[in-house]
Amino acid sequence: MSTRILPLAVCGVAALAMTSGVHADSILWLGAGGGIYNDPANWLGDIVPTHSDTARFDIGGSYAVTLDLDHEALRLIVNRDAVDFLLGGRSYSLVGLKANEPSILIGEAPGQVASVTVTGGFLNANTVMLAQVFNNSGALALTDGSVGNFNGQLSIGHFGTGDLRLKNVSDLTTASAIVGFKIGSFGTAEVEGKGSEWHNLGSLVIGQSGNGELIVKDGGTLQGDSTANIGFAPGSTGFVDVFGPGSMWTNAGNIRVGFEGLGTLSVRDGGVIDPAISVIAFADDIVTGDGEIRGTLNSSGFVRPGAPLGALTVVGPYVQNPSGSLDIEIGGSASGDEFDRLVVTGNASLNGTLNITLKNSFVPTICDEYVVLTSPSISGSFSAVNFPDTPGLIWHANVGAGEVTLGVEPTPRDLLVASFGESEFHRYDGVSGGFIGNFIPPGANGISGPIDMQIGPDGAVYINDDFDRVLRYNRITGAFLGVFITQGSGGLVDGRGMAFGPDGNLYITSTGNNRVLRYNGTTGAPMGVFGQAISPSAPMSSPNRLDFGPDGNLYVTQLNNTVLKFSAAGAFLGTFVSAGSGGLNGPGSLAFGQDGHLYIGSTITDAILRYNGATGAFMGLFVPAGTGGLDGPTDLAFGQDGNLYSTSLLTQRVLRFNGATGAFMGTFAPTNTNGMSAPFAILFVDGPTQTPGDVNNNSAVDGADLGLLLLDWGPCPEGVGACPADFDCSGDVNGADLGILLLNWG
């Protein structure tokens, strides 16, 4: 190490520097306005650093330094300056070889911000450290054709916030690199643009114990010669994003996403990741994007194709382990950019979970098909499939020989009809109206005079009868599940309408003592009076039926021809429909339509009236008196098809009306069908899954189904999915559908 004799004043500065822990041979740059590196006037003591000296930039400024010759120094330290080294094709070499002493240190002291930009030349060093301590920042940029060659480790964000950028056809070679080294550190490395390349010869860690980020974009490339880790140690996070046409990360070893930290690997918009062996995603870690992975993808974490929607391509095998998950988003039916896909050119070995979510408020339609995974050979299957909630539709997933497909079909819906006169219940197909069979035989379990039916949160059917009790039945089989509310429990007198509330509890009108009672929705235990009085001096007047509206409030019809409104907490909110409004007389059931408006059966005038769902104002006769033979509309229900169904008590049938116009569409369940007498209540329920060919959904494929198929023969008037007998979703009922029916005969 050279010995220098400094002027007295300079010695004072040097002594001060030594007390701050700075090397005795550090030579401080003084050129606040920038200047020539080789000009002694720009250095403390008029001495230009050589191979045995540390060049120190620490004057708190932003400036450019020009090299007029190739230069060499022991170390480069930049603490609180922003320095642009204009190399002009020359070399700047830092030869420091001491252990634990980086030859380039950018960001030395807490609270300081330092940066170096190298423009148009060669930067040579051994170990390089960006942001040495906590709460400081160090950045290095190579630009305009610069070339860096670091023979030691590159630490980006050693303890503070570090940043490396290669751009404008710049090139960097490193022995090894860590982005986000220590706990609490933040490191970012970015390779930008065609011709910019980072070649890392040893291990690469993005998020060692801290937080690391690697971006390769717009044609930049990263070449690795060893194993790479993204999110390595507990508490670390690592994120890699390779995007843009021509952007590529090639790696001679495995790329491990996660390990004991959290890792995310994204490849999108034409980007390519090319591991010589595998991309390995550990549990809870993520591989995502719509780019290309050339090699095996072995996942115990989350694979999420799309950016945000689209196809992720694996040029090689795909292995999904038991803890792995394939997450698919569907935002439309068009293949390519409206739903996610995983395209695998090698074998696909499946296990774990398939998760499906909907985007952009998309609602799937019948006969749409979503091919979400393709492979020339698929083995195994998903152990669990999680579908989104789509009322009225059932999802299905099919793992075939070369693809995984998703689709939806209508939820099989049956209509239950309660006959007051015979105390029995019939089941009808919810699409065709065909009679399926008895749901509950006459008088079973002592039931007498059924009044209302509801589906509970548990999927069971709840029925109240003339004995002021509530019974519970299996929705599919009709099997008796027990007495839910015993006779008169909680003060129930002449119970009429029922409704399960948003809280999951059961509400019943007790007409005999003018109140609404609430019961625990799980146990049936009484929970007290919910609504008893409009005001202390004005009690209810024969409450009849009730329903919760889209706003979560409770609406109650009264036999004095009014409708009351209560909050979910039981507070009286006013008379919603005034007495006799629109000719209302003998209000029976009420139902809210898909348009948000309120529909009420007027049992004395044999009409169905419509009221504004927000104000209660009368909007007009929806179904005029006696339309289609309507006589006694005691119960209303909107079907899955959006149409309105009503009992016609005295003509002993169920009628169907257009849900938008109120036009009569015909008798749905005919008079005296298999003993139906005085239909008082109706309820749509999910039926058993339909067998292809079972048009009337009666659990048998037979002559009746053949007859319905022949009635539908030819093009479906409303297109694909409109005809129940269009089993293959071709939009046409033809020989192919007949073949499906015959295949499932019996």
- The full set of domains in the chain, from first to last, is 300-411 (no CATH), 413-681 (2.130.10.10), 703-743 (no CATH)
Q: Which residues of 221-253 are buried (b: 16+ CB within 10 A; e: fewer)?
A: bbbbbebbbbbbeeebbbbbbbbbebbbbbbeb
Query: Of 65, 74, 70, 72, nearest to 25 (Cα)?
Result: 74
Helix or strand (DSSP H, E) at 740: helix 735-743
Kindly report the length of the chain: 746
Mean pLDDT, residues 434-451 taken together: 85
Q: Which positions ≥6 away from 358 have C-beta within 8 Å?
A: 329, 330, 331, 364, 388, 390
Written as six digits, the tokens of 230 are 């993204």
CB 173 within 8 A of CB 150: yes
- Contact by Cβ (8 Å): 708, 696: yes
- Burial of residue 3 (CB within 10 Å: 0-12, 13-18, 19+) is exposed
Cβ neighbours for 744, distance < 8 A, ≥ 6 positions apart: 691, 692, 693, 694, 701
Q: What pLDDT is stored for residue 438 in this prediction?
A: 85
To which residue do tokens 């995974």 refer? 373
Q: Specify the DSSP class assigned to residue 90.
A: -
Closest CA to 659 of 693, 685, 627, 623: 623
Phi-psi category of residue 696: left, alpha or beta, with phi > 0 → left and psi -120 to 50 → alpha: alpha
In this structure, what DSSP letter does residue 293 have? E
Task: Please give the sequence-ordered ranges of beta strands (E in DSSP) within 89-245, or none if there are none.
Answer: 91-94, 104-106, 113-119, 122-125, 128-130, 137-143, 147-156, 161-166, 171-179, 186-192, 197-200, 204-206, 211-217, 221-224, 228-230, 237-243
Nearest CA to 115 out of 149, 73, 143 is that of 143
Residue 720's pLDDT is what?
Answer: 63
3-class state of residue 346 by DSSP: coil
- The answer to which of 130-134, 170-174, 396-400 has the lowest mean pLDDT is 396-400
- CB contact at 8 A, 191 and 204: no
341-355, 556-570, 640-654, 680-694: least confident range? 680-694
Q: What's the whole-number average pLDDT of the chain?
A: 90
Mean pLDDT lowest among 294-303, 428-437, 529-538? 529-538
**459 conformational bin, left if phi > 0, alpha if psi -120 to 50, beta if neither:** left
Q: 3-state SS string over 294-343?
A: ECEEEECCEEEEECCCCEEEEECCEEECCCCEEEEEECCCCCCCCECEEE
The structure tokens listed for 291 are 């780019």
Say what the pLDDT of residue 700 is: 81
Predicted local distance difference test score (pLDDT) of residue 436: 83
Residue 675 pLDDT: 63
Let me know: does 657 contact 668? Beta carbons within 8 Å. Answer: no
CA dihedral 438→439→440→442, nearest 10 degrees, is -30
Percent of the chain with pLDDT over 90: 72
350-372 CB burial, b ≥16 within 10 A, e <16: bbbbbbbebbeebebeebbebbb
Asked if 269 and 246 count as a contact pair (C-beta separation under 8 A), the reply is no
- Both ends of the chain: CA-CA distance in Å? 98
Residue 139, pLDDT above cutoff 60: yes
* 247-269: pLDDT as tens digits: 999 999 999 999 899 999 999 99
Beta-bridge partner residues of 317 = none
Q: What is the rounded distance in angstroms from the CA atom of residue 196 to the CA atom of residue 222? A: 9
Percentage of residues of the chain with pLDDT beyond 70: 93
Separation of alpha carbons 660 and 644, rounded Å: 9
Residue-level pLDDT at 698: 66
How far apart, in whole angstroms, are the C-alpha atoms of residue 376 and residue 535? 72
Cα angle, residue 391 at apex, residues 389 and 392 outer, rounded to 5°: 135
pLDDT score at 4: 31
Please give the residue that has the higher pLDDT: either 723 or 568.
568
- Give the gyration radius of the chain's Cα atoms: 38
In angstroms, how far is CA 408 from the centroid of its own chain? 18
Per-residue H/E/C for 594-661: CCCCEEEEECCCCEEEEECCCCCCEEEEEECCCHHHCCCCCCEEECCCCCEEEEECCCCEEEEECCCC
**Calculated CA dihedral for residues 88, 89, 94, 95, nearest 10 degrees:** -150
pLDDT at 233: 96
Q: Is residue 542 within a helix (H) or strand (E), and if so which, with residue range?
A: none
Q: 574-590, pLDDT tens digit by residue?
A: 999 999 999 999 998 99
pLDDT value at 54 more than 60: yes
pLDDT higher than 70, residue 10? no
d(CA 106, CA 698): 78
- Compute CA 603 distance to the chain's CA centroid, rounded to the nearest angstrom: 46
**719 confidence band (pLDDT: 50, 70, 90):** low
Residue 688: band (very low, low, confident or very high) from pLDDT cuts 50, 70, 90: low
Strands 137-143 and 161-166 come out as parallel
Degrees (nearest 5) of the Cα angle 362, 365, 370? 80
| 213-222, 284-293, 639-648: the lowest-pLDDT one | 639-648
Q: Given the structure tokens 């996403």, which residue do they identify? A: 257
Rounded to an integer, the average pLDDT of 283-310 is: 97
Pairing type for strands 211-217 and 237-243 reads parallel
Angle between helices 735-743 and 703-711 (to 10 degrees): 170
Query: What's the one-letter identity of residue 193?
Result: G
- In whole angstroms, give the CA distance from residue 108 to residue 656: 81
3-state secondary structure of 383: coil
**Rounded to an integer, what distance in angstroms lies between the CA atom of residue 534 and that of residue 573?**
9
d(CA 224, CA 277): 12
Q: 733 near 706, Cβ under 8 Å?
A: no
Q: Is the pLDDT of residue 20 over 60?
A: no
pTM above 0.75, yes or no: no
Q: What's the pLDDT score for residue 614? A: 95
